[in-house]
Amino acid sequence: MRAEQVTTTVVRGYVEHGDARGRELGFPTANLSISAGSPDGVWAGWLERADGSRHTAAISIGGRPTFYGDHGHRLLEAYVLDFAGDLYGELVTVTLGHFVRPQLRFDDVEALVAQLGVDVAACRTWCESSDREHARSSAARRAHPSVGGARSARRLG
Ligand SMILES: Cc1cc2nc3c(=O)[nH]c(=O)nc-3n(C[C@H](O)[C@H](O)[C@H](O)COP(=O)(O)O)c2cc1C
């Protein structure tokens, strides 16, 4: 198994209205307010809906320097992959799984949109691989309950 340092951060909140620019760009986002300590950048992760369903997401945290320079209002925006519904007003939980890149200031909207396509592909690949790994280790734990945990080792001893 490949060793990799993963920092997981969870943000929960009600989806708010954004500037509605995301839909025009082809990447509509669910927007959440964030606290000062939230880690800026583009992340691969998941959005869990109020009904418990979990969706792969490309997540961006920061002030959107392409549009607002250094003075943008910071927020979390989650583009939910393969999803077309309306999330406004819903209580959602966003999990940041993997840092992809910092937020950047692009010269024009075309360059940003091209990068968003690359980001979404990278997020899909990372999340699929993480989900597979999680399923594999869950299956291994079910098959060999004594493997991989000090607690179960102690219980057996
Ligand atoms: C995966 C992802 C990456 C993003 N990266 C950047 C970025 O590097 N720079 C930037 O200015 N905005 C970035 N954004 C934010 C977009 O500019 C923003 O989603 C768009 O302007 C729509 O804003 P709205 O939801 O307020 O309408 C990113 C958004 C997503 C979903």
Whether 27 is in a domain gets the answer: yes
Domain that holds residue 29: 9-156
- Rounded Cα distance, 68 and 110, in Å: 16
Whether 17 is in a domain gets the answer: yes
Whether 4 is in a domain gets the answer: no
Whether 62 is in a domain gets the answer: yes
Decide if 80 contacts 87 (C-beta within 8 A). yes
pLDDT digits (tens, 9 = 90+) for 47-92: 999 999 999 999 999 999 999 999 999 999 999 999 998 899 999 9
Strand pairing class (54-62; 9-14): unpaired
Integer CA distances (angstroms), 28 to 43, 86, 154, in order: 16, 10, 49
- Rounded Cα distance, 157 and 146, in Å: 10
Predicted model pTM:
0.87
pLDDT digits (tens, 9 = 90+) for 104-155: 999 999 999 999 999 999 999 999 999 999 899 999 989 988 765 555 444 4
Whether 64 is in a domain gets the answer: yes
Mutational test site, ligand 1, from 77, 99, 109, 120, max ligand atoms within 8 Å of CB: 77
**Ligand 1, atom 15, residue with closest C-alpha:** 64
Tokens read off for 123: 């997020």
CA 77 from chain centre, in angstroms, equals 9
Which residues have C-beta atoms less than 6 Å from ligand 1? Answer: 18-22, 25, 27, 29, 31, 42, 58, 60, 64-67, 77, 79, 103-104, 112, 116, 119
DSSP 24: H
CATH number assigned to the domain comprising residue 81: 2.40.30.30
Number of domain units in the chain: 1
